[in-house]
Structure 1
């Protein structure tokens, strides 16, 4: 059970907590494919083949296990290799990646996100903790956050306790005074719990909880989360 009186800071997941990530990724992939069709058509044909793209990505992961937490690197390197395999200019990887990442930041927030961020930021230091590569400044949400930690910039991702502890330090409180909020049972709930934090599972889809260790609180959305502090 959540001990409300102990909460002095909030750490917050981003993808699928503040916005749905897969519709955004789909739009970014479509924009990248369109760009390839114009600037690197042979690569575009490779990229349109989902199986070839999957194998390419798996190869990049195998060869760069030490960078597998860095989504931006993995994406850029996959694009570069696709260009090389297609016999096209590898220097196009930079502008191609920028096409993808620009669209990746065109997120559509859940309807409760802005209101909830404003509410929470008025009451607590809020720190982002994400395994994705979203830039809060590009999205326009940075003013709500004391700090932001991503796996790509920090060097490890969730569920590693180090990224949670760094977020607590940035918030200026011990880990046991933090409520971590996120949608992923393993990365968010179990990861933050192991780091000594309280946990709130945002279960927008009414999914069953499948783990032995339960979150301190389950909420259907961020409005329900905010109501806990009203």
Structure 2
């Protein structure tokens, strides 16, 4: 029996046509859409380790590198699935567990997390991010829509946005259609009038499609589309997005 190729599979789900004239608002993801997230997290973990070396040396010895810190953070994901939508709480509780395991004072989790969180806001935007946000925000109300814990105002891009919604404050992460619907409500339009832009095929593009929005998938690495229903457009960069909407 012949197995259909990916191209044949996608052909059975033809991509919808982007209707620029229907767009009355833009929602856009943050991490890995406006900046690369993992260099940011790695630097924040390095700064956290430096703080622990001064204030919780036993913990710094037991968790002596960023890989160990990330491993206990990932362990917390399994221990506390109720916190899946709250990355700050997951990180804070993983720090607390590390302190307890090392025999240090668990109340140090709060100031330790503050150090991590401050560094986590120091992102390096993609080269075309400012120009893209300026382009979008002069044409549409723009909503930041993220599962992460970046603060657009602390990052320095808050002036581009009419609203900023994250999974922690809303109580559910993308691809839950309700968080997309909340983005539409925040700027007083209907979901079908919103174009969502993001790098995650499932959380961003598929979630937006499920909410009745138009979706643009930012696919900088040239990955194959993994689902049946397809986004309205795929772009390789934010600059490409601006050309598409221009």
- TM bucket normalised to smaller: over 0.9
SS in 1 for 2:196: strand
SS in 1 for 2:63: helix
Aligned length: 230
Please tell me whether the aligned partners of residues 159 and 187 of structure 1 are also in contact (alpha carbons under 8 angstroms). yes
Q: Please, which runs of 5 or more residues in structure 2 have no aligned partner?
A: 1-16
Normalising by structure 1, what TM-score?
Answer: 0.95
Moved more, 107-116 or 31-40: 31-40
SS in 1 for 2:122: coil
Shift of 1:62: 3.6
> Match of 2:32?
16
- Per-residue deviation, residues 166-186 of structure 1 (Å, max 9, x unmatched): 001112110001000000000
**Selected match of 2:152 from 136, 140, 147:** 136
Cα RMSD of the aligned pairs, angstroms, is 1.5
Counterpart CA distance in 2 for 1:125 and 1:115 is 16
**Selected match of 2:210 from 161, 173, 194:** 194
Shift of 1:55: 5.7
Q: Please, which runs of 5 or more residues in structure 1 have no aligned partner?
A: none
Counterpart CA distance in 1 for 2:236 and 2:76 is 37
> Match of 1:206?
222
Please tell me whether the aligned partners of residues 46 and 53 of structure 1 are also in contact (alpha carbons under 8 angstroms). no
Shift of 1:50: 6.6
**Greater radius of gyration (CA):** 2
Distance 1:52 1:203, change over 3 A: closer
Counterpart CA distance in 2 for 1:215 and 1:161 is 15
Shift of 1:69: 1.0
